[in-house]
Structures are given as structure tokens and as C-alpha cells.
Amino acid sequence: MKPGNDTVHLSEQVMHVRAFFTAVATSLIVLLATWGFDRSERERYRDGVRFSAVTFVANLNEILHHEITSHLSVLQSIRSVWQAHDDGIEKIRFERYAKAIITGHDATVRSIQLAPDGIITYVYPREGNEAVIGLNILSHATQGEEARRSVETREVVVIGPINLIQGGQGLIARLPLFVQGDRERERFWGFATVVIDLPPVWRTVSARLSGSGFEVAVRKAGANGKPGEAFFGDDQIFRKQPVLETVNLPGRKWEIGIAPIGGWPWISPLSGLIWGLGGFIAALVGLLVYGQLMSNNHLRRARDEAEHANRAKSAFLANMSHELRTPMNAIIGYGDMLEHNIKGPLNDGQREYLSYIRESAQHLLKLINQVLELAKVESGTMEPRLVAQPACRIIDNAIHFIQAQAAVKDVRIETETGAIGPEEKILVDDLFLNQALINLLGNAVKFTERGGSIAVRCSRGEGEGIVRICVVDNGPGIPEDQQGHIFTPFDRLAFDRSTVEGSGIGLAITRNLVEAMGGRIGFVSELGRGSTFWIDLPRA
């Protein structure tokens, strides 16, 4: 019974809802994959920016270190001049030598100084630096401690950045000088000093930063672990998870912090494209899934309706075949009675007409029986009983049944079963297989010319545990453009107007019988050279 309209409508609504939520779920999965891909791309981009920052700050460290330490060689030159004059150099000579030394160090070297006993006495250039003359370095409030440490370590010490007494910001690098004292002990003489102007250094750093996309700050590293405030750049940079680099100067350490202008990126330049494509793909996939599911549902419903109609057709054919077979049997019975003169003798004309009636009735009864058989198979009322049976025995039975029909046309039937043993068993319904083989053999005899031959071959099929039975004829063959309809019921292809009898239903019945047993059927045919029909069945 077909479902009512309300049931069908409800079923369609359920199908729509299921398809919709399945499509939405699929789209969400695509979006989730897009999020994962975008996250990976964002991390890759951030790592790339951080790597660029690491490379850039290392390069900046080299520049800054070079800009400062390249001028410390002035200290060694001053010491050499001082040693050459037995530490009794005159001011005028000092100024001449200092002028020669300072040449080539551009405007970065602010001044060169000598400080006997720690008191700044010799200064070049004097102009602009008058304020430092006479300054006692060792007792100075901010520079004294560093100066005394330099004397103790006998090493160069860099002080700063500091606000210079003579004005501006700079670095002071001092080298302690010692002379030979009593009892071969060295005595502190004073300091050689070079003052480095920082603004030119910062201009070099700023020029390197221009267009880089980074911002930089520099601060003292701090001996106690607590860094100082930034003396170059914005101190807020050190609160933006910067990449840090240490600048090592004589007796001093600075810390460079670098971060992208505007902070570290949280999205990639490709994020917009990724999400645009991901959204488009998610929408497209969702629509395709929804359309495919709805199409499948419609196809399933159409298939169910077709199967319902097919079962109704089969039931109708079965009923009609039963109804038609009863009067046809009566016609044949009465014809037999007339033929045997039960009601009196017949003349020759009557006998001829009676033979036509009986032949037509027999043909019609055969057609009715075939239709009934097809209807039973299609409607599922004929269920196979699968039992292990010797393949050779079933083949011999089918050949025996068709032998008389072949003898009328003088057609030989040859068998080739040597590829399998005589007791090789297959899992089949012997009645189903016997009928299928009889149908194939009957067709082979029907389409083979008088005096020809057909062959039945049995061998191992393609695949494990398969037995193949082939029926080979040398009939007219099947045209290639008609081979797709060979198993269609009531389709006799090009034989509709031929003298070959048949209803076009035998091969359809054969296919249903074989498939009902779990087997497969097929064929190969070449026009003018015959056909080979094969059946694949499982071994027991």
C-alpha cells in the first residue's frame, strides 16, 4: 500500500531537515579546517616577523658596537704619545698630536683629554670644552666610582650615556696610565680620556631603522639585574614582548629591545584571503551536500515508488497469467479431442485449421508461462534454496533437456569441463541454474544455423572461489548498438521481424534467476561470428 499524502509530506520535511543540518555540519567542518589553516599561517607569519626582528637587532647591535668601539682606538694613540714624551708632554705638543689623532674620527669624537693625577689638564679641542678643565675625576660625584674602578682593574671603562658638563649627551671612555715608581713598582699617573658624542651615533641608528617597520629602544642592562630607563627610544617598547640583544662595551652592557611598529601581528596578510576562500568553499560544499542529499532522497523515493509499481506489475502479470492460462488449457484440450476424432472424423481442411489453432495456443501458453515465471521471480515469491551441487551434473541435465531441440536442427552440443573436476561443487539452487542454462542453450540452438554447433565450457572464473559456465554459439551475433538492451524484458532487438520465434523474455528471466543465487551473468558478442554468454557462480 502506498503511503498517504500526510506521511509523504512529513517524510519530505524530515529529509529536508536532515539534509539541512548535514550540510551545515559539513560547512562547519570546512570552517574549522579554515580556522586551523589560518592559525597555522598566523603562527608562521609571526615566527617570520620575529625571525626578521632577531636578524635586524643583531645587525643593529653590530652597528652600534662598531660606532662606539671604533673610536676607542684613540685611547691607545694618546697613550703612545704620552709614553713617547716620558709623561712630560707640553700642552702645545699635546694639542698638535691630538689634532692629528682626532682626524678621521669625524664629529663623533667630542674631545681628547689627559688628566694627570685624575685632574683634567690637557683638552683638545679646547673650544667648547673649557668647563671640564680642572675637573678632579676621582672625586667627582657621578664619575668618581667608575674612575676608581678603572684604576683598580687597569682596564678601559666606558661611562654613560651621561649629560656632559660641557653640554650634550655622550660617552666617556677612560684608560688609566701608570709610570714606574720606587722599588720598581708602578704608580698611577692619570687618565687618557676620549669623549664620544652620542647624537651622531643615534642618527646612524635612526637611519638604519627608517622603513624597517620596527621600533627600537636602548637601556642600561643593570649590574643588579634591574635595568635602567631607556636612554634611546620609547621605554614602552620593553613592555611589548620585544626581541632583546645585549651590547657589550668595555665595563658596560646595554640592552637593545626591538618590536614591530604597532605591536606583534595577530593576523597574517593572507588571513583575509584564507577566510574568504574558506567561507566560499564552506558555502559551496554545504550547498553541494544539501543538493546531493536531497537528490539521493528523491532518487530513493523514486526507486521505492518504481519498486512498488514493479511489484504491482508483477502481481498483475501473475494474476493475469493465471486467468489466461485456464482458458488456454481448455482450448488446447478441446483441440486434442477434435484431433483424435472423439466427436467424429475431420476432413483435411479441418485438420489443417485445427493444427494452426493448437500451435498458436501452445505458443500463447508458453508465453503465459514465461510471463508468470518472470513475475514470480521479480515479485520475490520464488526464493532460491542454495545447496552445494556438482556443476557438471547440472550442466549435463540441462544439455539432456535441450538435446531433442538441437537434434531437430542437427546442431551438435559439445562440452568442455576439464578445467574443473567432475565433483567440483557450486552453491546454487539446481532448479534455478538448470532453468537458466536451458534458456541459454535454447537461445543458442535457436540462433545457430542447421548443422552448426554450440559449446558449453566450465572453468575457473575471475576472482577467488568462482566457477564460470559459458554457452558459446556461432550464430549471427548481437549488434553493438543493441547490446545494452539484451536483458530487457520483451525486447527482441532486431529479431522482431525475423522468423526466429521468441518473446524476448528468456534472458530477463535468466538474469533474475542467476542474480537471485548471488551470481553474475554477462556476454560478449561479435556480429557475424556468434555470442558467448557466461554465468559466474560461487564455489561451495
Summarised one tens digit per residue, pLDDT across range 435-448 is 899 999 998 998 89
Per-residue pLDDT, averaged over 109-124, amounts to 91
**Smallest Cα–Cα separation from 206: which of 461, 198, 340, 271?**
198
| Residue 216, CA atoms < 13 Å, CB-side half-sphere | 28
Which pLDDT score, from 0 to 100, does residue 509 have? Answer: 85
- Helical (H) or strand (E) element with 480: none
Per-residue pLDDT, averaged over 322-340, amounts to 66
CB 536 within 8 A of CB 520: yes
Which pLDDT score, from 0 to 100, does residue 95 have? Answer: 86
Strand 214-220 and strand 230-232: the pairing is antiparallel
Q: Give the tens place of pLDDT for each residue, 349-359.
A: 776 667 767 66
Residue % of the chain over a pLDDT of 70: 81
**Smallest Cα–Cα separation from 136: which of 113, 169, 106?**
113
Q: Give the SS3 label for residue 469.
A: strand
Number of helices (H) and strands (E), helices first, in the chain? 10, 16
- Average pLDDT of every residue of the chain: 83
Q: Give the SS3 label for residue 208.
A: helix
Which pLDDT score, from 0 to 100, does residue 454 have? Answer: 93
> Would you place residue 316 in the very low, low, confident or very high pLDDT band (cuts 50, 70, 90)?
low
> Would you place residue 87 in the very low, low, confident or very high pLDDT band (cuts 50, 70, 90)?
low
> Would you place residue 103 in the very low, low, confident or very high pLDDT band (cuts 50, 70, 90)?
confident
Per-residue pLDDT, averaged over 256-270, amounts to 91
Which residue matches cell numbers 560461487?
538
Query: Which whole-number Å values give the CA distances from 444 to 304, 399, 416, 418, in the listed order?
Result: 36, 12, 16, 22
Which residue matches cell numbers 669625524?
106
Q: Give the SS3 label for residue 192.
A: strand
**Burial classification of residue 253, based on how many CB atoms lie within 10 Å of its CB (0-12 exposed, 13-18 middle, 19 or more buried):** middle
In the predicted structure, residue 162 carries a pLDDT above the cut 90:
no
Q: Round to whole Å and give the CA distance between 512 and 271.
A: 59
Peptide bond before 161: cis, by omega within 30 degrees of 0? yes
All three cell numbers of 193, joined, read 680620556
All three cell numbers of 134, joined, read 680642572
- Which one-letter DSSP state was computed for residue 458? E
Q: Round to whole Å and give the CA distance between 233 and 255.
A: 12
Peptide bond before 200: cis, by omega within 30 degrees of 0? no
> Would you place residue 137 in the very low, low, confident or very high pLDDT band (cuts 50, 70, 90)?
very high
Q: Round to whole Å and give the CA distance between 533 and 439.
A: 11
Q: Please give the angle made by the CA atoms of 450, 442 and 318, to the nearest 5 degrees.
A: 145
**What string of DSSP letters covers 491-512?**
--GGGTTSS----S-HHHHHHH
Q: Round to whole Å and give the CA distance between 339 and 351.
A: 7
Q: Give the tens place of pLDDT for each residue, 169-191.
A: 889 999 999 988 665 678 899 99
Q: Round to whole Å and give the CA distance between 507 and 490.
A: 9
Strand 186-197 and strand 252-260: the pairing is unpaired
Beta bridge partners of 387: 428
**Smallest Cα–Cα separation from 61: which of 327, 255, 290?**
255
Q: Round to whole Å and give the CA distance between 213 and 463.
A: 68
Per-residue pLDDT, averaged over 90-104, amounts to 84
Sign (positive or negative) of CA dihedral 309, 313, 315, 316: positive
Strand 214-220 and strand 252-260: the pairing is antiparallel
- Helical (H) or strand (E) element with 12: helix 5-69
**Smallest Cα–Cα separation from 388: which of 427, 433, 432, 434?**
427
H helical segments located in 158-215: 198-209
Q: Give the tens place of pLDDT for each residue, 419-434.
A: 787 788 899 988 889 8
Query: Which whole-number Å values give the CA distances from 510 to 286, 338, 404, in the listed order?
Result: 44, 37, 21
Q: Please give the angle made by the CA atoms of 422, 423 and 428, to the nearest 5 degrees.
A: 110
- Which one-letter DSSP state was computed for residue 292? H
**Burial classification of residue 203, based on how many CB atoms lie within 10 Å of its CB (0-12 exposed, 13-18 middle, 19 or more buried):** exposed
CB 507 within 8 A of CB 513: no
Which residue matches cell numbers 627600537?
216
164 Cβ neighbours under 8 A, 6+ residues apart: 110, 170, 195
Q: The sheet that has 530-538: what strands, in order across it?
A: 412-416, 453-460, 466-473, 530-538, 520-526
Answer with the residue of higher pLDDT: 48 or 506: 48
4: phi then psi, degrees, rounded to nearest 5: -70, 170
Which pLDDT score, from 0 to 100, does residue 187 have? Answer: 87
CB 446 within 8 A of CB 500: yes
CB count within 10 Å of CB 204 equals 16
